[in-house]
Structure 1
Amino acid sequence: MILACHSIEKAFGEDVIVKNGSFHIEEYEKAALVGINGAGKSTILKMIVGELPLDGGSITLSKGKSLGYLSQHQNLSGGNTIYEEVRTAKAEIISLEKEIRRIEQEIPNLAGEQLTERLNTYHRLSDRFERENGYAYESEIVGVLKGLGFDEEEFSKPVDALSGGQKTRVALGKLLLTKPDVLLLDEPTNHLDLNSISWLETYLLNYSGAVLIVSHDRYFLNRVVTKVIEIEQGSIMTYLGNYTDYSRKKQQIREARMKEYLNQQQEIRHQEAVIEKLRSFNREKSIKRAESREKMLEKMERIEKPAEQRTDIHLVLEPSCVSGNDVLSVDHLSKSFPSQPLFENVSFEIKRGEHVAVIGDNGTGKTTLLKILNRVLPADSGSFTLGTNVHIGYYDQEHHVLHMEKTIFEEISDAYPSLTNTEIRNMLAAFLFTGDDVFKLIGDLSGGERGRVSLAKLMLSEANFLILDEPTNHLDIASKEILENALNNYKGTVLYVSHDRYFINQTATRILELVNKTFVNYIGNYDYYLEKREELTAAYASVPSCDNAPAAEAASEAKLSWQEQKEEKARERKRQNDLKKTEERITSLEERDGQIDELMALEEVYTNSIRCQELAKEKADIAAELEELYEKWEALASQE
């Protein structure tokens, strides 16, 4: 055990964060700390590193072990470049290298005991330098920076000029290179693109220390952690396994506890009814018996009702009208900014009912594409066409159409006056606004909170083509699941940009990856994309070997790839359907053949020659049909 939290307690006024909570982290263990927004996850991390005091209990770190902490918000400054800032993580190694070089310069001028002493020091320091991978520290720094999404041209950028997200990535790189015994990471995948998240997963899986992660990225948690620590209503509970294991076990435990709770409530009501009846008799013995039962009832250890799931909240998205089958057609579209080409000559189509996820590295132009489609930005060349009766609902994190002087509740009720108070509250609760939160002024909200209000408005818009830019940002896991269910039941068309791989896997029927200035189509979810990525990227988005290779040819090949995949998916669906029907027919005939055998064993049948002939003919027909069906089944099965 490297880190132990024992009976910890923390409250802010009447708001209890944790009460009598305990958990521990073993050496080399990778664990997650989960809970809804506001449950106290970040508070617990801050108590572990000493940024916040405990109200009670204790936190113990094994002797001689070190902690490293990444908070959600970084305020790096000081004039260093990105490379210089991250390089400070290797200050001890750099100092050691300088000392070794100094001794190398001294040695030629020494003799006797002085020489022997300096040589011994030199060998000792060199051994330590080699043990700590000193000869590779420069390449290690470059590897971490590139893994976190920085190009070499960016290494010389001053940290002071970086955005908040970029500063967080620099801080994460610096922390990883210090290699503490316990890493505490608060939302480490925020501000990372898919490739960087994948790199971080591999890094943490191979990390030689222990890791405690706060994250809403379910795909990331499934890949990295082997233990989940949940904080809920001030209580802490530990589950072994990844996020999926935790989710399943939590549901099982909740159902068992709810059953216990309901059984006890039934027993309490029964006892109260008996007590009331005994008192109604108004006799000395019956009153004494009632009092005895009351004392037993008072001593009963009450089972606390399990936390309510938000099963009553269902977002129902209904388009105001049905669009034509052709929703969007993009034809040879190009866009670039000075010194930053994004995409060239791209063409694709979106049909009614498709849920299309746009993915790709940061800075490739995903959000720019959405802005062009919503006429916020012009394209450099090419065009796009919306289909018949297409009505767009657009969620853009940078352009929220909100009224700063209104409350959250007024923002929704004024836009949709036909909604009841309950319907408005349910919608807002799905996006984490409960109780008196709904009466907060829009102008007083953070950027993330305004984004959630804007998303709630969009969900009510009755548009039949939703275009969403990072819709799951600032949502907790429960809200993401509500949004996923709503989109999966949505009869309209969806185009969205997201880095949330679990969300993509749950909601996408097709993926467009923006890579090497073009789009590669994948007809499937994120798992399918992972399976086919290397093959299709090489075929349709490899970097051209000569400068004059026509971009139009690549675009047309990508389009062909989409058509081929679509046809292949259709063929596979037909094969599965035919296979299922064949199996069902075989089962039916085999059952009937068995029934005929049973019938022919009956005296009233085998003594009736006409009936026997009928059954014998039916049995022969069944045998002939089964022979054909077996051959058909084998042929269909071999096509897999």
Structure 2
Amino acid sequence: MILACHNIEKSFGEEVIVRDGSFHIEDHEKAALVGSNGAGKSTILKMIVGELPLDGGSVTLAKGRTLGYLAQHQDLTGGNTIYEEVKTAKAQIIAIEREIRQIEEELPSLQGDALTERLNTYHRLTEQFERENGYAYESEITGVLKGLGFGEEDFSKAVDTLSGGQKTRVSLGKLLLTRPDVLLLDEPTNHLDLNSISWLETYLLNYPGAVLIVSHDRYFLNRVVTKVVEIEQGKLTTYMGNYSAYAEKKKQVREARLKEYMNQQLEIRHQEAVIEKLRSFNREKSIKRAESREKMLDKMERIEKPAELKTDIHLTLEPSCVSGNDVLSVEHLSKAFPDQTLFTDVSFDIRRGEHVAVIGDNGTGKTTLLKILNDVLPADSGSFTLGANVHVGYYDQEHHVLHMEKTVFEEISDDYPDLTGTQIRNMLAAFLFTGDDVFKRIGDLSGGERGRVSLAKLMLSEANFLILDEPTNHLDIASKEILENALNNYTGTVLYVSHDRYFINQTATRILELVNHTFVNYIGNYDYYLEKREELTAAYASSSSAPASAKTGKAAPAETVSEAKLSWQEQKEAQARERKRQNDLKKTEDLITSLEERDAQIDELMATEEVYTNSVKCQELAKEKADIAARLEELYEKWEELA
């Protein structure tokens, strides 16, 4: 055991964060700390590292072990470049290297005991330098920075000029390079693109120390952790397994607990009815028996009712009218900024009912595409056309549709006057606004809270084409599941940008990946994308097939057609042909099996006395056997072609 929290307690005024909570982390173990927004996950991490005092209990770290902590928000200053800032994580190695070089300069001028002493120091330091992989520390720094999404052209940027998300990535890189015995990570996948998240997963899986992660990224948790510690209503509960195992066990435990609670409530009501009846007899013996039962009832250990699940709220999202079959057609679209080409000469179509996820690295142009489709930004060239009867609902990360002076409740009720107060509160509760939260001014909300209000409004909009930019940002897991269920039951069309792979897997029927200035189409969910990524990227968006103008950063001429141009129809037809081939192959195999079985039956029949003594029957079976042989010859050839 490397880290243990024993009977920890923490409250802020009357709000209890954790009461009598205990869990432990083993050496090399990868664990998650989960719970709804505001449950106290970040508070527990701060208590472990000593940033917040405990009200009770203890936190124990194994002797001689080190802790490393990544908070959600970082404020890096000091004038260093990104590379210089991350390099400070290797200060000890650099100091050893500096001393080694200094000794090398001194050695030619030393003699006798002084030479012997410096040589001994030199050998000790070089051994330590090698043991701590000192010769590779610069490549390790470069590898971590690139893994976290920084290109070499970013290394010289000053950290003072970076966004909050970029500073968090720099801090994460520094922390990983210090290699503490226990890593405490608070939402480490925020601000990372899909490739960086995948890199971090692999890094943590191979990390020699222990890791405790706070995250709402279910796909990430499924891949990395083997233990889940849940905080709910001030209680800590440990489940073994990854996130999916935890979710299943929690569901079973909750159902069992709810059943116990309901049975006990029935028993309580039954006893109360019996007591009331006994008292109504108004006799000494019946009153004594009633009193005896009351004492038993008072001594009964009451089972606490399990917390209500937000997933019990079922939101319906339904378009007001049906659009035409062709919802969106994009033709030869290009967009570039003075220092960067985003995409060049791309074309694709979206049909009614499709749920299309747009994915790609940070800065490749995903959000820009959505802004072009909503006339927020102009394209450099090309065009797009909305189909007949298409009504767009747009969720953007800037939340331009909100009124800063209104309360959260007024923002919904003014736009949807037909909704009752209960309906509005249910909708807002699904997006984490409960109690007096609904009366907060929009202008006083954080960016994440405004995003949740925008999403709630969009769910009520009755649009038949939803365009969503990172809709799951700032949502806890329960709210994500509510949104997933609503989208999966939605009969309209959806186009969204997301880095949430679990969400994509649950809701997408098709994926567009923005890579090498073009889009590659995958007709399937995220698992299908992973299976086909290398094959289709090489075929449709290899760097060698990108237009020359894209390589130089200039916009392509209108008459230049990219070899990597997306052809949705071609890929769909190719996949249809593949399904037909597979079906034909199976039918052929089944027919071959059937005929071979019949051929064997004929051989058995012709060996029986009643058949070989009957010349007419023998001729019939011999003819059938010959026909089977001829048919099998054809089928074998067909099978070879199909296979």
Distance 1:205 1:553, change over 3 A: farther
Separation in 2 of the partners of 1:288 and 1:557?
Answer: 89
Separation in 1 of the partners of 2:560 and 2:270?
Answer: 78
Cα offset, 1:310, TM superposition: 2.2
Query: Partner of 1:264: helix, strand, or coil?
Result: helix
Separation in 1 of the partners of 2:398 and 2:516?
Answer: 26
Cα offset, 1:502, TM superposition: 0.3
Separation in 2 of the partners of 1:65 and 1:556?
Answer: 55
Q: Percent identity?
A: 83
> Residue 566 of structure 1 aligns with which residue?
572
Distance 1:559 1:340, change over 3 A: closer
> Residue 280 of structure 1 aligns with which residue?
280
1:175 counterpart letter in structure 2 = L
> Residue 321 of structure 1 aligns with which residue?
321
Distance 1:37 1:272, change over 3 A: same
Separation in 2 of the partners of 1:266 and 1:121?
Answer: 79
The answer to whether the 8 Å contact 1:335/1:343 transfers is: yes
2:573 counterpart letter in structure 1 = E
Separation in 2 of the partners of 1:165 and 1:196?
Answer: 13
1:284 counterpart letter in structure 2 = E
> Residue 20 of structure 2 aligns with which residue?
20
> Residue 597 of structure 1 aligns with which residue?
none
Query: Partner of 1:105: helix, strand, or coil?
Result: helix
Separation in 1 of the partners of 2:301 and 2:562?
Answer: 69
> Residue 145 of structure 1 aligns with which residue?
145
Separation in 2 of the partners of 1:525 and 1:223?
Answer: 17
> Residue 518 of structure 1 aligns with which residue?
518
TM-score normalized by the length of structure 2:
0.89
> Residue 532 of structure 2 aligns with which residue?
532
Q: What does the per-residue CA deviation read over 1:288-327, in whole Å, with 9 as the maximum and x for residues that have no partner?
A: 1111111111111111111111243112111111111111
> Residue 209 of structure 1 aligns with which residue?
209
Separation in 1 of the partners of 2:341 and 2:539?
Answer: 22
Distance 1:328 1:534, change over 3 A: same
The answer to whether the 8 Å contact 2:8/2:54 transfers is: yes
Q: Do residues 344 (structure 1) and 329 (structure 2) align? A: no
Cα offset, 1:190, TM superposition: 0.2
Cα offset, 1:395, TM superposition: 0.5
The answer to whether the 8 Å contact 2:399/2:451 transfers is: no
List gaps (5 residues or longer) in structure 1. Answer: 584-627
Q: Do residues 486 (structure 1) and 493 (structure 2) align? A: no
Q: What does the per-residue CA deviation read over 1:68-108, in whole Å, with 9 as the maximum and x for residues that have no partner?
A: 00000001001111011000000011011111111111111
The answer to whether the 8 Å contact 2:546/2:562 transfers is: no
> Residue 294 of structure 1 aligns with which residue?
294
Separation in 2 of the partners of 1:545 and 1:529?
Answer: 20
Q: Do residues 44 (structure 1) and 44 (structure 2) align? A: yes
TM-score normalized by the length of structure 1:
0.89
Separation in 2 of the partners of 1:179 and 1:519?
Answer: 38
List gaps (5 residues or longer) in structure 2. Answer: 551-555, 590-630
Separation in 1 of the partners of 2:303 and 2:292?
Answer: 21
Distance 1:575 1:285, change over 3 A: farther
Counting only pairs closer than 5 Å after superposition, residues 112-191 of structure 1 correspond to structure 2 as 112-191=112-191
Separation in 2 of the partners of 1:138 and 1:541?
Answer: 32
Q: Do residues 371 (structure 1) and 371 (structure 2) align? A: yes
Q: What does the per-residue CA deviation read over 1:422-459, in whole Å, with 9 as the maximum and x for residues that have no partner?
A: 11111111111111111111111001101110111111
> Residue 100 of structure 1 aligns with which residue?
100
Q: What does the per-residue CA deviation read over 1:141-187, in whole Å, with 9 as the maximum and x for residues that have no partner?
A: 00000000001111010000000000000000000000000000000
The answer to whether the 8 Å contact 2:516/2:546 transfers is: no
Q: Which moved more, 1:297-306 or 1:514-523?
A: 297-306
Distance 1:382 1:403, change over 3 A: same
Cα offset, 1:559, TM superposition: 3.1
Cα offset, 1:564, TM superposition: 3.9
Q: What does the per-residue CA deviation read over 1:541-580, in whole Å, with 9 as the maximum and x for residues that have no partner?
A: 00126965997887565434x3343235445667899999
Q: What does the per-residue CA deviation read over 1:29-80, in whole Å, with 9 as the maximum and x for residues that have no partner?
A: 0000000001100000000000111111111000110000000000100111
The answer to whether the 8 Å contact 1:347/1:555 transfers is: no
The answer to whether the 8 Å contact 1:519/1:555 transfers is: no
Query: Partner of 2:93: helix, strand, or coil?
Result: helix
- Superposed CA RMSD: 2.5
Query: Partner of 1:544: helix, strand, or coil?
Result: helix
Separation in 2 of the partners of 1:546 and 1:217?
Answer: 33
Cα offset, 1:400, TM superposition: 2.5
> Residue 595 of structure 1 aligns with which residue?
none
Distance 1:548 1:311, change over 3 A: closer
Cα offset, 1:399, TM superposition: 3.7
> Residue 596 of structure 1 aligns with which residue?
none
Query: Partner of 1:411: helix, strand, or coil?
Result: helix
Distance 1:395 1:547, change over 3 A: closer
> Residue 624 of structure 2 aligns with which residue?
none
Distance 1:70 1:348, change over 3 A: same
Separation in 2 of the partners of 1:639 and 1:71?
Answer: 56
The answer to whether the 8 Å contact 2:540/2:563 transfers is: no
Q: How many residues align?
A: 595
The answer to whether the 8 Å contact 2:311/2:481 transfers is: no
Separation in 2 of the partners of 1:471 and 1:327?
Answer: 21
Q: What does the per-residue CA deviation read over 1:435-487, in whole Å, with 9 as the maximum and x for residues that have no partner?
A: 11111111110011011101111111111110000000000000000000100
The answer to whether the 8 Å contact 1:540/1:554 transfers is: no
> Residue 460 of structure 1 aligns with which residue?
460
> Residue 70 of structure 2 aligns with which residue?
70
The answer to whether the 8 Å contact 1:541/1:554 transfers is: no
